[in-house]
Each structure stands twice: as structure tokens, then as C-alpha cells.
A and B are shown apart, each in its own frame.
Chain A
Amino acid sequence: MKHLFFFTSPLRDKILSLFLVLAAIPALLLGWITLVLLDQAHRQDVLVIEHETLRAKEEEVTTFFSDLMGVLDVRLEALDAAEITPGIDQWQSRLAEALRAEHDEFVEVLFVSPEGKETARASRTPRGGPLLYVSDLPAFKTALSGMPYIGSVYYTATGPNVVMASPVRAGEEVVQVVIAEIDLSLLVRSLTAHRLGETGYIVLADNRGVYVGTESFGSVKPGEHIVALIAQLDETDRYESIFSTTAVAGAKRVLLAGWTLIVEWPLAEVDTIIDDIREQIIVVVAASMLGVVFVAFLFAARIVYPIRSLEAGARRIEQGDFESGVFISTGDELEELGKAFSAMTKGLKRLQELKNEFVFIAAHELRAPTTVIKGYISMILEGDAGKFSGTLREYLTEANKANEQLLQLVNDLLEIARSEAGKIQIQVVPLDIRESIDTIREGIKPLMQEKRLTLSYERPTHALIVQADAVRLKEVIMNFVTNAIKYNRERGTITISHETKDVGVVTHIADVGFGIPKSEQGKIFEKFYRTAAARESGLQGTGLGLFITKELIERMEGTVWFHSEEGKGSTFSFSLPKGNDTLSS
């Protein structure tokens, strides 16, 4: 599977990109839209719940003040002017006491004459002292003008309080003012006891933005200014709360008193459900993305893989392999293409066989007359046809060389044709490779002497048994050695040595000749390939020797390689499997 993902393929990349863009972007957009809509719907739900809570609490606070104001809204209809003369305080005292008893929240109720003098006082706890002049008080002034008054919160040891005042009318005339101190503890406790969900809460601030509470809440103390919080609620509904933790909040003004109700609902609870859903959506989107990426790879690879198979098949044909064919099972046009390709391979194979047959026949037919020519030239040169001039000898010698080369080419072509036709018989037996080399050493002496070369053979003292065909092994060694002679420098050396390794017996044939340039080293075993230096040197050769040698070594289950440095020489090595020590007779 690895090759499906990690090979380089521009086509795969293009398909992959297209697939990713077409599949991932819609999935991402869908995820984005879902999350946004979900968030908006959730926020709307929370706002509705908060709004309902605030509306209910605003009604409670308004009712609270309305009830108290209703109690203080005294209308004197049965009395005449003389009876309500300031200073006659009997009815005021009784009424003050009655009003105070009306609600537990009344700490003190007092009547004040239009001149500003207290005329009666009723307190929850007895209070002595003279009746005072209060005409400077805003509560008195406001109520005297006919308007109800609700002041700002203040704190006593018992908790938050507020002053309320209301005109006392006889007909339309304001004949007295009633001022009351209101204990807000019950109202505040009622508000703070309310819960929105499990952790949401209500906070009350007075008309100056002062927190109305009975005890500290978070970092906020009763009476502390929270104007900044109320102002912030105009801009955002989600913030780090000063009362608890991160919360979603809302506010509503209590119009009657000018006070503000604030509701805060910790996000930890508000977002519990939505966070779970959000998490699930994100997991689905993320999994989709991963799936898209994986499928995109798979999809692209599936399209590219058959094309790659065709490419590989073409390369095999290029290397002469007509057997493999191409097997594609995609069930579509690509599979048909693969079948057509395989059919074409069979056709090419047939053509190759015909060509080989032709080459084989041609080479075979050429070899007989070439051999005959060689025999006759040899006989002439040896004088069997009588004496001849020096010029004729010179010409015959050249003709003989050309015929030798032609014969070599014919033999090589015949060898290749046999090999490709599978007609070369290889009979592998255990044999001592030293003996093969010894035989060759004798045969190459004349060639060595021509270039005054020295052969150094590091002959092992013990037998080196390999699994090889005796004839083909000599052919292989001869080929390497004749190359070493041919491409060596004058007075150079040739060194033959052996190594015994796990893979088998390795034989090295090293020369100190031209060497092979790096750029040509990859082609040296190709058919008909000759290096530029060999071609330019005028040395005879067909370019088939190393190809045949390699074929023979591989047929004997060996391997061949070389190391060469231009100008310093080459070392050709080949390995053959080890044979057992018992030689065949």
C-alpha cells in the first residue's frame, strides 16, 4: 500500500487536489454553517430564558414598590380642612402606625406637614426625640410637588434600605407628605434566592448603579458601584463576571424606581449541552476531513496505479521482457487498455522471436562461409598455395583480421540469439575455478606479450569450488581478461584475485587501463554498447561481450558488477555460488 501514497505522480497530485477541493470545502462550509446556526439558535434560546426571568423579576420588583407606594398613597376625603390642620397630629399618628403595620418592610413611617415639620412618626423600634423639620429633604420636596419618590439604597446594620415618599391628598390638594423607610432585605433575599437553571442568579442595582445585596457576592460588596458592569451590558452579553465566573448576562430596567435588574448565567452551565453538540459536530467534520483526505489519496492512487502499471510494462518491454504483460483489474476502460497492452506485448514478443530466429539463421548461415574463408586465408598465409608477394601478404593479413572480426560478430550474435531463444545449455557442476583460470593464462600469453602486460594471479593454495558450467565459466573469464588486455595501457598489469563470501566465491579481474567514465558506467552491460574511448581508440569490438558475459553469469545464478575510475583502470567482479568440495569427474 505504501507505494500507493508515496510515489511521485503529478497526475495523482492533480486528481488529489481536485478531489480535496471539491469534497473538503463543502464539508467545511457545512460544518461552519451548522456551528454558526447552532450557536445563534442557542444564544436566542438563552436570551429568551433570561428575558423571561428578567421580565418576571422586574414585575416582582415593580409590584413590590407599587404595593408600598399604594399603601403610602393616602387620600383624605372625609375630613374637612380644619381637621387636617398641621399640628393636629392625632389622625396622623394613628394613620402612621396603621400604615407601618401594613408591611413588614416599613421601618419607619412619618407624616410631614406642608411646611416641612414632622407631624407623626411610627417606627418598628421606638425612637425618641423631637419631631424634626425636613423641608430640605429631596423626598419631602418631591412628594410635596405631588410626585412619588423612591430614593437610592443605603445600608444600616440590618441591611439595605430605601426612602420612599408620597403626597397625602385631600381632593387634589397635597395636605401632608408621608415618608417611609423601607427595609429591602426581604426583596433582595427573594431575588438572590432565585435560580436560573442551577447556577444562574439575579442581581439588583439601584438608580445610581449601586449593588443592592445583603452580603458580598463574589468580589462585590453590598453598596459597591457596578455602573461599569451595567454599561458593559450595552456592548456584550458574555463576559468574565465580577460575581462568579464567565457568564452570559442580560439586564432590565425597573421603570418605576429607575433600578436595574441583572441576570447572569454561568457559561459552564449554559453551554453544557451546546458544547456537547458542538463537540460532536466538530468530531464529525474532522472525521469527514480525514476521511476525505484518505479517500482522496486512495481514489487518486487507484486511478494512477493502472497507468503506472502500463508504464512499468512498457519499461519491461524496453528491457526485452515480453513475458510479464500487464494485469489491470479495474473493470473499466483501463482494464481494457491493460488487456490491449498485454496483447500488444505478445505481438512484440512474436516479432522478437522472429527477429531472433532471423538473426540465428543469418548468423548460422554466415558462420560457415566465414569459417571457410578463414581457413583458406590461413592456408594461403601459411604458403599452402605457393609463394606470394609481400603486398599480397599484407592485404591478406588485413582481410584475415576483418574476417576474424566478422566471425567474432557472427559468433556473438549466434550466442545472443541462442540465449534469447533459451537454447544455451548450461550444465552447472562443482568445479575448481583456479583450474579454469590456469587454462586461460596459457591461452592469453601471446596477447599479453603484444602489449608487454604482466598478469598477476593471486592463486589460492586450496581449491575454490564453485557451481558453474566449465565451458561458460572459461568464456566468462576469457571475456573479462581479453577486455582487460584490450583496454589496458602498454606495460600495464592485470590482477586476478578471489574472495570467499557468504554469497559465494567472488573473482576480481583488475586492469590499470582507460577506465570507464561515470556517465557511461550505467550502460556498459547493454547490447552493442561501446564506450566513447573504446570507439575512438580504433580497438576492435562488437559491444556484445559484456552483455553475453552478464547473461552467462546470471544463468549460472551469479552476479556481476564493476568498479572503474577514468584513467586509472577498472575492476570487474563476479560471484558464483559455492560448490561442495567434492568435484565431479
Chain B
Amino acid sequence: MRIYVIAIIGFIGAALVFLIMFVGSSDVSPPPALTVPQPHAYDNPVELTADIQVTAVYFVPQGATPVPTEVWHTLLERELARLQKFHDVQFRGSSRVTYTIHPQAVVGRETHAAYDINLLQHNDPQVLRPVAEEILDGLKISLDTASPYKILLVLYEGVGAGGSKHVALLSRIFFERSDTRDVASTFFAHEFYHALGVPDGYRTAKKVFPDGLEVDVELIQSRDIMGRVRVPLEEAYLSPETLTALGI
């Protein structure tokens, strides 16, 4: 048989294969490459927060009366679990919080007054330093590791609340007072996110009344957990802008 006959039959075969494989069949594109979240500390892509390890400590200033262990331990367990859940929802599962609770209460070397912690200075890193350093020294813990991102979370047997990079502190009293106990978990989470470097979502401004009276007021810049704390944790959230700054 001549080569051109074989070539024609080959061409017909190839045309049939082409017809079967390509003509009228769906050309399917690959899936889109979605941006994979790389959670990190606030405005700091270097400090990754995909894995957050919390060390929770019940800290009692000198002279203060600690509550029974089961009380503070149960409270920490419950609040850390709620925090985990909240964090998981906000970070779409891309960041995981694990925690350990120090089994014994840590008693401070100073009295409450000496630590000088108060609500108005709650995000001042200097305010928390004495308590944090004392606990870290006592427990031989270092927070300076690249991964996981370590946080010291202090349940404070006194008055006050605050948070700065790697450290968060909240008075246990928040969970008892009638005006704060419903939203104490939100305060707890609020301070936790300070430990990730997130700033407050409000600012202090001068309000001048028509009669010339001038008072300081808090002007919220976000309705999320960093700007508006007095909502139940189940209704609180991190704003899209805050999440973007956290790498989400």
C-alpha cells in the first residue's frame, strides 16, 4: 500500500482523535490561586502568629487574698476556651491558640499599689513590665522565640487591665463586678489582642460644651472588640481592617 494512502488514513485517524479530545469539549482552567493568609503580629509580618502559645498565670500581689485554686483555674479554663473559639472564628482557622495554665498561683513580691496598674493606662507597656518580668523570672519563661508566638496572660488578683506585645493582664474582679461580668470575656480577649500588638480602637478627645466646659471623651474609631468592649464576646468581632493588619 502506498505511503500516501497510509498518510490519508493516518490523517483521518488523527482528525477523529482531535474531534473526540478537543472539539466541543470543555476547556477547564485551573483553580484560582487564592491568597493564603499569613497571620502575624499587628503591622509586623516578621512575627508570625499561626501558632500562638499562651501561658496563663494567676498572679496575686503581696497582701492580697487569693481565691481558691479551683475558682481561678476554672475561670481561666473557661475564658481561654472561649478565647480560642473567638480567635478561630476571626482568623478563619489560620491561627491556632494553645495554652497552659500554671498550676499554682504566683504571689508577687510587691503590693498592688506598687505595681501601679490601673484601667486608664491599660495599654501602656511600661505599666505591665514589673508584673511580667517578675512572673517570667519566677517561672523561667522566655517570650522571645520566633515560633510559636508566646503570650503571657495574667489573671490579676487586684484592680486593673492592660496589654502590650506578648503580655496581657486582666483583673479577676472584672468577672465578678455586676457592671462588667457580662462583658468580662470581651475585655479578656481585648487584652489578648493587645498582646498581638493590636492598638485600641478608640482615642481620647476633648469635648467642649457650649458653656465652655471641656471634658475628655473616648472617641471610638472602630466598633470592633478593640474600639467597643462592652458587648458580649459572642457579638464582638475584629474589624476587617484590623484583620488585614494581622495578615488575614
Contacts and interface: CB of A to CB of B under 8 A. Distances in A.
A116 interface: yes
B220 A289 contact: no
A243 B242 CA distance: 27
B222 interface: yes
Given A132-B220, A157-B234, A286 B9 contact: no
A267 B28 contact: yes
A31 B19 contact: yes
B58 to A, nearest CB: 26
A13 B5 contact: yes
A152 B248 CA distance: 14
A157 B20 contact: no
Interface residues of B, number: 60
Contacts of A231: 32
Given A35-B24, A137-B222, A228 B231 contact: no
Contacts of A208: 240
A156 interface: yes
A36 B24 contact: yes
A16 B12 CA distance: 13
Interface string A219-251: 011111111110110011011111000101000
A233 to B, nearest CB: 9
Contacts of B153: none
A8 B1 contact: yes
A24 to B, nearest CB: 5
A285 B16 contact: yes
B164 to A, nearest CB: 23
A571 to B, nearest CB: 41
Contacts of A285: 16, 19
B16 A128 contact: no
Interface in A113-148: 116, 125, 127-129, 132-137, 139
A239 B31 contact: yes
A89 interface: no
Given A228-B34, A231-B32, A289-B12, A155 B237 contact: yes
B15 A28 contact: yes
A28 B221 contact: no
Interface of A is mostly: mixed
B205 interface: yes
Contacts of A125: 232, 235
A39 to B, nearest CB: 4
Contacts of A227: 35
Contacts of A292: 12
A36 B221 contact: no
Contacts of A157: 85-86, 89, 233-235
Interface in A268-298: 271, 278, 282, 285-286, 289, 292-293
Given A136-B221, A163-B223, A242 B8 contact: no
Contact of A240 (B4, B29, B222): B29
Contact of B28 (A107, A135, A238): A238
Most buried by A among B4, B16, B32, B89: B32
Given A36-B23, A127-B230, A132 B16 contact: no
B5 A107 contact: no
Given A239-B28, A267-B28, A154 B239 contact: yes
A312 B15 CA distance: 39
B26 interface: yes
A132 B218 contact: yes
Nearest to B232: A125
Contacts of B93: 221
Interface string A486-513: 0000000000000000000000000000
B118 interface: no
A217 interface: no
A443 interface: no
A10 B28 contact: no
B8 A133 contact: no
11 contacts: A20-B9, A128-B179, A154-B224, A223-B92, A223-B248, A228-B32, A229-B34, A238-B28, A240-B28, A240-B31, A242-B32
Given A28-B19, A133-B220, A158-B235, 6 more contacts: A17-B4, A38-B24, A39-B24, A107-B235, A155-B90, A240-B30
Nearest 6 pairs between A and B by C-beta? A129-B230, A35-B24, A39-B24, A228-B32, A239-B29, A221-B92
